Amino acid sequence: MTRFSAPSRRRFLQSAGLGLGSIALAAELQAEDANGKMHHAAKAKAVIFLFMEGGPSHVDLFDPKPELTKHHGQKLPASFGRVVTPMGTGGNTLLASKRKFTKPGKSDVEVSDWLPHMAGVADDLCVMRACWADGLNHVGSVCQMNTGSVLAGRASLGSWALYGLGSENKNLPGFVVLSDTGEVLGGARNWGTGFMPATHQGTLFRPGPSPILNLAKPAGVTAEQQKNKLDLITKLNGIHGRERSSDSELNARQSAYELAFRMQATAPDVIDFSKEDAKTKEAYGLDRKETAEFGHRCLLARRLVERGVRFVQIYCGAGSQWDAHGDIEGNHTKMCLRADQPSAALIRDLKQRGMLDDTLVIWGGEFGRTPMSEGSTGRDHNPFGFTTVLAGGGSKPGTVYGKTDDFGLRGVEGKMHVHDLHATILHLMGLDHEKLTYRYLGRDERLTITEGVVAQEVLR
């Protein structure tokens, strides 16, 4: 089994002297070492994960259920057994979807009228309808979709990707997280490294015109003065670190100083949209209040992967804003309006630039929603069968994989656990989830823990 081992990197950093130059060299050698151990040819060089936090309703978006419409107002049949949900136990009244579904392209992909722009790229989508997870509540479920476990303390998907492959741009973080104005439930543990070195954690870009805080050079300070200051800080950190070689957070902090210095020349160009033409900005919805904020981050994600960033995660509705326990019509009308146009624009833009083939776009949340009503107008959490959508990056376009039961409660064919989804994503990136391991406390840890099967049916 191929193993990536942290101690060898630490020994290198110790022997190299821990200067700014040595840290940069260490990053280069780490990237070369990781790329040399890619397990097979990659289809996806980068990933953009559009995370709809709160649980978008699959039966109202990508998984139409005519039988649910026929049995609207009736009780869930006893044959379905006991169904435990966060807000109550099964046996609730079935709630038909009010949405109209069409097959807008040449494929069998069906999309509801809540997502008219995504319908326009239907033939680029790979719709996986029988995903399932273990958690019932948001915090644990968001954590599992990001780290493979409902419990905190494990490394995130983006961190594993960066750990295994390195970054293609030494002047930008290899793993970037773009959140909106809400607080992601569980916070930084969703893009953290858990037991792995902290150097592989995600870098949070904040909303607004200055996504990277304190990046600008202080007024009146020359580049030479700043570099001398960083050299001194690094020297002091090196002295401090010689007796603390196992402190990965210290190593990460040292690397962050060097990266921040390099980013001062690179990052302003990334976040400067002045050279983007008006047509592109309009396509992402930057001219509309409802779509401008999410559209801005989707466009920024394209610019990041264009410059070699390995993994970008964008939260839409951080703080579980897709959580439609009541008034699903009002909630999803608002959230789909926010997410639809920018999501489709990103896919189109990547395709037009020849980037979609090697950029994997993921669209989905931590779970779906029940076909039974909560109250009379809402839906409860449903981790038993929900939809995740892929586009590009070696996924099979125009594909519908998996099936839920007649009402959309549980997966019945082509079921994909979160571990299977993660194994498939890593596979598309050229990584074997069983070989990508990290030695921790005498155990070879991996993202998929002891499970996970690659869904060959969704690969091009």
The CATH code for residues 41-194+202-216+261-458 is: 3.40.720
Q: What is the pTM of this model?
A: 0.87
C-beta of residue 111 within 8 angstroms of C-beta of residue 101: yes
* CA gap 145, 66 in Å, rounded: 29
For residue 127, give Cα distances in angstroms to 63, 209, 363, 458. 9, 34, 10, 9
Residue among 204, 185, 192, 194 nearest 140 (CA): 185
Q: Find the helix packing angle between 20-36 and 157-165, rounded to 10°.
A: 90
Mean pLDDT of the chain: 88
The pLDDT score that the predictor gives to residue 10 is: 41
| CA-based nearest residue to 73, from 51, 106, 96, 55 | 96
Residues paired with 50 in a beta bridge: 314, 363
H or E element, residue 26: helix 20-36
Q: What is the end-to-end Cα distance of the chain in Å, rounded?
A: 27
Rounded Cα–Cα distance for residues 250 and 198 (Å):
9
Element (H, E) at 27: helix 20-36
Q: How far apart are CA 175 and CA 308, in angstroms?
A: 10
Question: Which of the residues in the chain have pLDDT under 70?
Answer: 1-36, 90-91, 208-209, 213-217, 226, 241, 244-262, 264-265
Quote the pLDDT of residue 5. Answer: 45
Task: Determine the 3-state secondary structure of 105 from DSSP.
Answer: coil
Enumerate the domain spans of the chain: 41-194+202-216+261-458
Q: Helices marked H in 127-179 — which ranges?
A: 138-147, 157-165
Q: How far is CA 435 from CA 3, 27, 213, 336, 447, in A?
A: 7, 22, 37, 38, 10
So what's the pLDDT on residue 261? 62
CA distance 55 to 367: 5
Structure-token pair, residue 181: 């104005």
Q: Could you tell me the two tokens for 15?
A: 């022997």
Residue at token pair 């980013």: 263
Q: Evaluate whether 271 touches 263 at the Cβ level (below 8 Å).
A: no
Measured CA to CA, the distance from residue 189 to residue 201 in angstroms comes to 9
CA distance 409 to 403: 10
Rg (CA), the chain: 23
